[in-house]
Amino acid sequence: LYKLGYRNKGDLEQAMYRYLQAEDNLVAARNALKKAMAEFNKLEAFEYRMELARLRGALESAKRKLEQVQRDNEAKEAEAKAAKIAAEREFEKEEEQLKKYETQLEKCKIYAPHDGMVVYATRGRWGQTVDIQEGAFVRERQKILELPDLSRMQVKTTVHESVLDQVKVGLPAMIKVDAFPDRVYEGTVKSVAVLPNPGGWLSSDIKVYETIVTIDEEVEELKPGMTAVVEIHIDRLRDVLSVPIQAIVERNNETWCFVMDEGGDIVKRRIMLGRSNDKFVHVKSGIREGEQVVLNPMAILGEEAESEKEELSPDAESDLLKNAAKRKGKQTARQQKPRSGKAGKAAKKKPQESSIRQTNESRIKEKRQTERNSNPERKERAGQREARPAADGPKQQKKEPKAEKTNRKPGPSETGNGSS
């Protein structure tokens, strides 16, 4: 175009400049492209490795999580299986317990083997009968009810420890029931307890042993719970000499009684005793059949104790009074008052009153002496009081009137005939 004249030189130079500039731009673009490609390749390679590492890490983490989940699932599965087994065993146990309760509930229904009277057998803490009620607690082998055979009755009684060695199984007995006072039943000792009954707080020092006495004959009128009196026959003595038990006196390990001799005088005679009951005692030697004995020797005992007061020691006197009172106490309801009862009573009470009076006086003296020593002013006043006449001292007591001489004849209420 320049050669043909269509363009001038300026246009040619300007076109050449644009051409060179375009080449420079092309080179720069190519260089930028190469640089971009290099950076792209570099970036692509780095990010790939990083992404690959990240993905691999994620893969490992996912695998570990998967393994953890699998282990947790296995543990939960094992735990669930164990819980299932435990639940099955608990279910079996509950079934067995249910069967046991059903069996026990069925056994709670008690059917009487025969018709009869129902007697509650449970005993309370203080010995009273406690009727079993619905909802009450019961122990294993606890006796709740009894169906006694009313045709074969037995009596439950107690025996004191002092005569326990004399009561044996098989001994005969006589039974009197309060409801039928005119009838006497014959019985036999069935059993004697080995251990004493537990005493209550009112009689904790009394030892009694439960004894069962069966009634030999068949009875229909007796009912459980009736009150009866049992007389056990320890021994039967025939054709022996005996005297009322209230006529016996024990003193200084000796046994004697007062006997009326042929002259009508009362003499003390030493005797040897055998078995006894609550009324009579067997006399082996010392008196003869038909002789009269004093039934209330305490009156004569008081006279002798008064006359022998200086010779009798306090211990022997105390033992004398205790033994005599013990013998007399058993027959107090059946004795009659002697003619000289006041003298005997005074002779019995005088030693006790004298000892109490002496003890009180000694205590008062000791108290006064202590007060004098602790307070000088009281000591001086006490000295002034002691200096007064003896009229302020204790008055002398009058002596009790003595009983009559022992050689008097006893009254009808004081003597009794020995029986054989």
Q: Phi, psi (5° rounding) for residue 362?
A: -65, -40
**Does 161 have pLDDT greater than 80?**
yes
Question: For residue 400, what are the contacts with CB-CB under 8 A and spacing of at least 6?
Answer: 343, 346, 347, 350
C-alpha distances (whole Å) from 86 to each of 74, 93, 95 are: 18, 10, 14
pLDDT tier for residue 414 given thresholds of 50, 70 and 90? very low
CA-wise closest residue to 240 among 289, 286, 278, 277: 289
Taking residues 211-219, report their average pLDDT: 91
Compare 289 and 205 and report the one with higher pLDDT: 289
3-state secondary structure of 281: strand
Query: Can you read off the two tokens belonging to residue 106?
Result: 């069925």
pLDDT tier for residue 307 given thresholds of 50, 70 and 90? low
Cross-strand bridge partners of residue 267: 259
Q: Is the dihedral of CA 370, 375, 379, 382 positive or negative?
A: negative
- Contact between residue 177 and residue 222 where contact means Cβ atoms under 8 Å apart: yes
pLDDT of residue 133: 78
Q: For the segment 221-270, what is each residue's pLDDT rounded down to a tens digit?
A: 888 889 999 999 888 888 889 999 999 988 888 898 889 888 888 888 89
pTM greater than 0.85: no
pLDDT tier for residue 189 given thresholds of 50, 70 and 90? very high
Query: Alpha-carbon distance 335 to 324, whole Å?
Result: 14
**How many CA atoms, within 13 angstroms, populate the side-chain half-sphere of residue 392?**
6
Compare 338 and 294 and report the one with higher pLDDT: 294
Query: Can you read off the two tokens belonging to residue 135?
Result: 């909802």
Q: Name the CA dihedral angle for 317, 318, 322, 324, rounded to a multiple of 10 degrees.
A: 10
Question: For residue 312, what are the contacts with CB-CB under 8 A and spacing of at least 6?
Answer: 305, 320
State the average pLDDT for the chain: 73
